[in-house]
Each structure stands twice: as structure tokens, then as C-alpha cells.
């Protein structure tokens, strides 16, 4: 179970951390989490970038939960209220039992971006993929579908702990304020209490890998690199 950090970070500190995470790979972060005793923070392999060129996703978790609930057409007021709470640097994290339908599309994404949100992580479906790419709003989701949520799936809570499908466990618990990182290799959730330490260790590992690549390109053999640096 994750917990909030003991020291409240300022907006500038949060943005500095978010920006620095954009320079490290999820593979290195996952290795650091293993060493620190957090081996089950990877999300399921189905989470993919939409569009494929969406780029990296990094930000503080703002959680939204919903469920299949038949209701008349006309909109989901709770979904709109939930999205109004997003702040700069946050990633909306969507959970629920809405298999087969999308949780949001272009227009809601525009509203989230206007509030400073840096993207979305969706344990479900999205649509308007081409337009999400046009707006430069990175989304990682399990699938895409043209079928809307209105009349079928309804938001029932936000800024509460949620559970997303995991890579090594059935579900990964994500709390508001945890950190979300996703790239070509997949997606991770980093508990808030360990975010600064994970970042520092991941940056150090990244620096080591850069040195290894440079030395390999200058003639160092793989065997020599392993002897010098050990497993990385």
C-alpha cells in the first residue's frame, strides 16, 4: 500500500520531478523499484499509447472510478465534475468495469489539457484517437472503441484509491498523488512516498547506462562492460 509523502511538495518541486522523470526509461525505474522492494508496480501489457506516436506519459495521479450503469442519454455530470478537479502536472487515472466502451474522447481530453493535465492512463477504452494525437495529449489505454460511455458507464468517485490491471499481480493499487510513468516499454505506478528516491536512483542508473553505451561505441566489449559495471 502506498502512502503520501511526509513533506508536501511545492508546485515547482512537483513539476521539476515530473520533468526529470521524462528523461528516464520505465525499464530503469522498474529495476529500481525491484531493488527497493516494490516488485509489483508494473501495469498490464495491454496498456498502449494512443496514438502510437503519443510519446511519454509522466505525471501525478488524479484518480477517477466508474461502473457500468444504464441511464438515459444526456451526459454524465459526475464525469464532468471529476475532470474539473484536475490540476497542472496531473495524469487522470481511470478505472472501472467498462469493458467494451470508451471512458472519454477528444472533447474531454481538450478540457483536461486546458486544466494543465499532462495525459491520461485508462484501464478501459478511449476513442477519437486521431484527434488526441492532433492535440498532443498522450493517452495510454487498454483498447480503443467508438462506443461511447453515455447511457452505459458512469463515474461514481474521484480522488480515491483505484485498482488497475497489473503485470505481475492481478491489480495494482494507485492512490491520488502517486506518480505515473509510461513509455514504449509500458506503464508503472510509483507510490508517492518513494517518488523522490526512485527518481534519484533511476537517474543514477540512467547515467551508468549512458556511460556503458558510450564505451561500447568506443570499442569496449560487452564482456568488459559487464566486468566493469556488473549487471545493469
Check which CATH number belongs to the domain holding 156 and give it: 3.50.30.40
Provide the domain count of the chain. 1
pLDDT attached to residue 202: 97
Three-state secondary structure call for residue 71:
coil
> Would residue 202 count as lying in a domain?
no
In this prediction, residue 75 has a pLDDT band, given cuts at 50, 70 and 90, of: confident
Grid cell for residue 97: 468495469
pLDDT attached to residue 64: 98
Q: Which residues are annotated as a binding site for Mg(2+)?
A: 128
In this prediction, residue 109 has a pLDDT band, given cuts at 50, 70 and 90, of: very high
> Which residues span the domain enclosing 116?
11-194
Q: Which residues are annotated as a binding site for substrate?
A: 105-108, 127
> Would residue 6 count as lying in a domain?
no
Which of 176, 146, 178 is closest to 63 using CA atoms?
Answer: 176
pLDDT attached to residue 207: 87
> Would residue 128 count as lying in a domain?
yes
> Would residue 213 count as lying in a domain?
no
> Would residue 225 count as lying in a domain?
no
**Res. 180: pLDDT tops 80:** yes
> Would residue 227 count as lying in a domain?
no
**Res. 227: pLDDT tops 70:** no
**Res. 231: pLDDT tops 70:** no
Angle between helices 106-114 and 77-84 in degrees, nearest 10: 30
- Using only the alpha carbons of the chain, give its radius of gyration: 19
> Would residue 83 count as lying in a domain?
yes
In this prediction, residue 3 has a pLDDT band, given cuts at 50, 70 and 90, of: very low
Q: What is the rounded distance in angstroms from the CA atom of residue 180 to the CA atom of residue 90? A: 9
0.85 exceeded by pTM: yes
In this prediction, residue 167 has a pLDDT band, given cuts at 50, 70 and 90, of: very high
> Would residue 224 count as lying in a domain?
no
% of the chain surpassing 90 pLDDT: 83
* Helix residue ranges per DSSP H, the chain: 11-21, 26-35, 77-84, 106-114, 129-134, 195-217, 222-229
Residue 155, beta-bridge partner list: 66
Nearest 10 degrees: Cα torsion 41, 46, 50, 52: 100
Amino acid at each position: 500500500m502506498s502512502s503520501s509523502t511526509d513533506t508536501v511538495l511545492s508546485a515547482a518541486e512537483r513539476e521539476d520531478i515530473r520533468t526529470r522523470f521524462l528523461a528516464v526509461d520505465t525499464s530503469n525505474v522498474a529495476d529500481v523499484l525491484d531493488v527497493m522492494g516494490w516488485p509489483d508496480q508494473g501495469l498490464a501489457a495491454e496498456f498502449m499509447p494512443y496514438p502510437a506516436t503519443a510519446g511519454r506519459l509522466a505525471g501525478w495521479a488524479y484518480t477517477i472510478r466508474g461502473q457500468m450503469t444504464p441511464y438515459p442519454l444526456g451526459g454524465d455530470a459526475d464525469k464532468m465534475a471529476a475532470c474539473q478537479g484536475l490540476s497542472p502536472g496531473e495524469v487522470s487515472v481511470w478505472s472501472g468495469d467498462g469493458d467494451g466502451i470508451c471512458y472519454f474522447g477528444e472533447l474531454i481530453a481538450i478540457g483536461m489539457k486546458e486544466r494543465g493535465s499532462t495525459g491520461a492512463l485508462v484501464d478501459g477504452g478511449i476513442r477519437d484517437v486521431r484527434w488526441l494525437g492532433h492535440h498532443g495529449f498522450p493517452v495510454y489505454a487498454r483498447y480503443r472503441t467508438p462506443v461511447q460511455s453515455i447511457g452505459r458507464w458512469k463515474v461514481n468517485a474521484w480522488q480515491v484509491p483505484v485498482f488497475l490491471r497489473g503485470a505481475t499481480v492481478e491489480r495494482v493499487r494507485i492512490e491520488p498523488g502517486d506518480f505515473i510513468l509510461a513509455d514504449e516499454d509500458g506503464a508503472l505506478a510509483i507510490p508517492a512516498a518513494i517518488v523522490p528516491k526512485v527518481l534519484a536512483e533511476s537517474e543514477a542508473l540512467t547515467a551508468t547506462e549512458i556511460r556503458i553505451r558510450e564505451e561500447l561505441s568506443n570499442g569496449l566489449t560487452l564482456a568488459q562492460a559487464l566486468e566493469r559495471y556488473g549487471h545493469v
